[in-house]
Structure 1
């Protein structure tokens, strides 16, 4: 189990990353950092429609139900590392 406590498949999550294209990984990282579609579009020089399409492709490729699940996935696979809040490190 990870710090998020949501993994059920152990190490298979990291292997799932292999099914994503480079563009999908970049979009997933942006999504996991909390960027909205219009912000991702601006950063990556894409249209909002393209971003929405890539997000849908990510969800389908990973078998995830929604954007929140994609964010959790990104964190659990180590794509994104958040700092530990003060008082919890130990």
Structure 2
């Protein structure tokens, strides 16, 4: 189990390779703190499609919510933000 307990409860969290390119792009945007409408603008898709893709990500990775997906992205190294000074 990792620091945030993503594999808590006996369920296994899948690796990022199980995601499509679009799902990885949405997850990276989500992990950077963008709202659905901002993700939609960045990726040139509708905000409704963003919500659909987020649900697909949660199912594919066996995660409970968006916050768990953000933690997952950081813990798996999908995104690295600079440390505050």
Task: Determine which structure has more spread, i.e. the larger CA radius of gyration.
Answer: 1
Normalised by the length of structure 1, the TM-score is 0.79
Decide whether the 8 Å contact of 2:6 with 2:72 is kept in 1. Answer: no
* Partner in structure 1 of residue 49 of structure 2: 50
Q: Any gaps of 5 or more consecutive residues in structure 2?
A: none
CA RMSD of aligned residues (A): 2.0
Matches within 5 A, 1:65-80: 65-80=64-79
* Partner SS state of residue 25, structure 1: helix
- Give 1:82 shift: 2.2
Provide the TM-score with structure 2 as the length reference: 0.84
Give the drift of 1:79: 0.8
Name segments (4+ residues, structure 1) moved above 4 Å: none
Q: How far apart are residue 7 of structure 1 and its match? A: 4.5
In structure 1, stretches of 5+ residues that fail to align are none
